[in-house]
Amino acid sequence: MSDPIDDVPQCTATSRSGNRCKRRPIPGGTVCAMHGGKAPQVVAAAEARLQARQALLAAEAFGLPREVDPHTALLEELHRTAGAVQWLGAIVADLEREAITWGRVKETHGTQLEKGTDNGTTNAAAVNVWVRLWQEERDRLAKVAKTCVDVGIEERRVRLAESAGQQLAAVIRSVLDRLELSDGQRSLALRVVPDELRRLAADVVPGQVVGGGAS
């Protein structure tokens, strides 16, 4: 995407010699300070261009609107917040003990240093910013998780999984019926198929145990 600000690499004004000015324009503007860049209306227009560019960058960074159902949006936020909590928790775990509740909170200026200061810097107890962010994200995770429980997202997922399992079992039974297997072959198939499905589920989600089968 073309940047309207970067499209003007030099001042668009013309010098007395008739050549184009080689100076850089003011940020967000089209002319340099020598050719009207200090005029209030020019400064205002330049600031408006910069704000428009910042808004465009924000839209590109945070993503454009998209259609999503509420349940999916909540699950995405739950997963994102859980990831943020884990990441911030790892940072907090690596902090030195003194860095968790002690930091620079004020700087003093002058020739005479106050008692208890070091080079004009006052140190006092304050929660480390990483700890604060971690705590805030944990609170957010708890709220999002509660919302998910309140709207029954987990029950909805269980119902969908049960429905999918029932459909799969029906398909397997139909396949076995059409194969016209003997009683021994059918009995063997009813043992092998669930075992293979459990193995497949364990490969997709390590440690997950899947019960049930075709009968």
| pLDDT score at 44 | 87
The dihedrals phi and psi of 69, each to the nearest 5 degrees, come to -75, 155
What distance lies between CA 53 and its chain's CA centroid? Answer: 22
Query: Which residues does the chain have with pLDDT short of 50?
Result: 1-6, 107, 109-117, 205-215
Q: What whole-number distance in Å separates Cα of residue 80 and Cα of residue 68?
A: 16
Return the amino acid letter for 148: C
- The number of angstroms, rounded, from the C-alpha of 70 to the middle of its chain's C-alpha atoms is 17
Residues 86-126 pLDDT 10s: 998 888 888 777 666 655 555 454 444 444 445 555 555 56
Q: 56-73, pLDDT tens digit by residue?
A: 777 666 666 778 788 888
| Paired tokens of 23 | 């100076």
